[in-house]
Amino acid sequence: MRHKPINNKLFVQNRQRLAELMAPKSLAVLNANDVLPTNADGTLPMQPNADLFYQSGIEQEESILLLFPDAADNQHREILFLRQPNEHLQIWEGYKHTKADARKISGIKNIHWMSEFPVMFRSLMCEAESAYLNSNEYKRAKVEVETRDGRFIRQCRDDFPLHTYRRLAPLLHQLRAVKMDLEIEMLKEAIDITAKGFQRVLRILKPGVAEYEIEAELAREYIKRRGKFAYPPIVATGKNNCVLHYLQNDQVCRRGQLLLMDVASSYANYNADLTRTIPVNGKFNRRQKQIYNAVLRVLRAGVENATVGKLHREWTKEAQAHMNDELLKLGLLKPSQVKKQDPDNPACRKYFMHGLGHPLGLDVHDVGDTNSPFAPGTVLTVEPGIYLPDEGFGIRLEDDIVVTEDGPVNLMSKIPIETDEIESIMNR
C-alpha cells in the first residue's frame, strides 16, 4: 500500500449507500481480482479490484466482501474474508493484512479468514432470498479471460440453482459516478503528482531527447511522490502526435516538432488524466500555435458547458459544433462539408475523431451511465484534439473537471496550458 492511510469513513459511507439500493433480504458479494500469470512462473503486478476497494479499501489478493443488510444477526451484515497470514507467506511475499489491520482500513468489524467463507456463505445464502453478484459490465470491455467473479457466479448457480440472482454492477456504477469529497481529495493528489511530472518535462525537453527518456523522468516524479502511471504513457513526437494510442515511446525529439504527452499519475487507485502538447525546441511556430489555440478554445468551452443536468451526448455535440467552427476558420473544412454533414458523423471527425471526454475515477475510463445527466460530483476529462497527419503533427489538450451546482471546476487549472506560459517556462 504505497499511499497514505485513507479515512475509512469513505468506505463506511459507500457501503451504506449501496445497502440503500439493494432489494430486501438480499446479499452482495465482491471478489478481489486474480493475480494474472505471464510466462514461466511470472505474474503481473496485483491490480486491486476497483469495486472491492470502493466498498472496503482492501487491495489484497484473495479477498471477499459479503454484505447482507437484512441479516438476522447484525454481525453478518458486513463480513470481510482475507487470506490468512502465515510464516511461508511472510518469507516469500511479505506483509498480509491482520484482522486488526483490516478493521482499521475498512471500518468492518467482522473479519474472517478465507477458509471460513464456504460454510458461512452457505448459511447466509439459505437465509437470503436473492444475491447480487458482480461482473465487468463496462460497455467497451472485451472480456476473453474468465475472472474470479465469473468463476464465482458459475459456482453459485451450481450450488444454489433456485435463488434469484441480481446484477451488482449497475448499482455500483450509479454510486461510483458521483464522487464523494474524500475521493475528490485523492484525485487532487493524483493531479498534483501529475503536475510535478509535467513541470519537470518542461524543464528538460530539448532536441535530441528521446521519448523514452521523457517517460523515465515522469516515472521518477510519480513514484517518488507515492504515485504510478495511471495508464500506459503516450509520449509522442512528430507524426506520432496523430496516433491516438501511441505506445512505442522510442523516437528522438527533433527541432521544430511537437511532443504530445498523454500521461498521468494515479494515487490511492484514483487516476488523473492529462494531455499536453509542447514544442520540442521551446517555441511554437505560427501554424502550430494557430491549431493549438483552436483546440484550447474548444477545451475551455467544453469545460464551461459541463453543467448539472447536461447529457453526455449533448455535451459532445456542442463540442463538435464548436470544432466545426474552428476548422472552418482554419480552412480545414469548407462550409459545404458542414452543411451536408451527417448529424451522427459530423464533418469535424475527419480531424477530431474521438469523444470530448469520459468519466474519471477508480478507472481511467470510469464506470457510470453516460445516458444519465451530469450530477454534482461527476468527474470528467475534457480532451479535444486536431490531428493533421499530412502536416506531420497533431495537438490534443486535456484537463480533468468536477461538475458542481455552482458550475464546473477545473481541477487542473494550475497546470500550464497557454502557449506563452509554456514557452516562458521552457526558455527560463
Q: Is 351 a catalytic site residue? A: no
Which of the residues 221, 398, 400, 423 is marked catalytic? Answer: 398
Q: Is 181 a catalytic site residue? A: no
Which of the residues 183, 215, 318, 383 is marked catalytic? Answer: 383
Query: Within 13 Å and on the Cβ side, how many CA atoms surround 207?
Result: 7
Which of the residues 51, 183, 215, 262 is marked catalytic? Answer: 262
Q: Do 265 and 415 form a contact (C-beta atoms < 8 A)?
A: no
Which of the residues 51, 61, 183, 273 is marked catalytic? Answer: 273
Q: Is 398 a catalytic site residue? A: yes
Q: Is 325 a catalytic site residue? A: no
Q: Do 246 and 234 form a contact (C-beta atoms < 8 A)?
A: yes
Residue appearing with cell numbers 535530441:
208
Q: Give 359's DSSP letter.
A: B
Q: Is 250 a catalytic site residue? A: no
Which of the residues 167, 203, 245, 287 is marked catalytic? Answer: 245
Which of the residues 270, 387, 399, 423 is marked catalytic? Answer: 387
Q: Do 384 and 323 form a contact (C-beta atoms < 8 A)?
A: yes
Query: Within 13 Å and on the Cβ side, how many CA atoms surround 7?
Result: 9
Q: Is 365 a catalytic site residue? A: yes
Which of the residues 215, 358, 366, 423 is marked catalytic? Answer: 358
Question: Helix, strand or coil for residue 3?
Answer: coil
Query: What's 83-129 look like in SS3?
Result: CCCCHHHHHHCCCCCCHHHHHHHHCCCEEEEHHHHHHHHHHHHHHCC
**Amino acid letter for position 175:** L
Question: Helix, strand or coil for residue 188?
Answer: helix
Q: Is 354 a catalytic site residue? A: yes
Which of the residues 17, 83, 300, 354 is marked catalytic? Answer: 354
Nearest C-alpha neighbor of 84 from the set 57, 106, 62:
62
Residues sharing a CB contact under 8 Å with residue 210, sequence separation 6 or more, in sequence order: 250, 251, 252, 253
Q: Give 213's DSSP letter.
A: H
Q: Is 97 a catalytic site residue? A: no
DSSP string, 225-282: TT-EESS--EEEEGGGGG-TT-----PBP-TT-EEEEE--EEETTEE---EEEEETTS
Q: Give 46's DSSP letter.
A: P
Q: Measured between alpha carbons, how far is 121 from 116 in angstroms, rounded to an integer?
A: 9
Q: Is 318 a catalytic site residue? A: no
Q: Is 78 a catalytic site residue? A: no
Q: Do 173 and 207 form a contact (C-beta atoms < 8 A)?
A: no
Q: Is 399 a catalytic site residue? A: no
Which of the residues 76, 77, 276, 396 is marked catalytic? Answer: 396
Give catalytic residue positions: 41, 245, 262, 273, 354, 358, 365, 383, 387, 396, 398
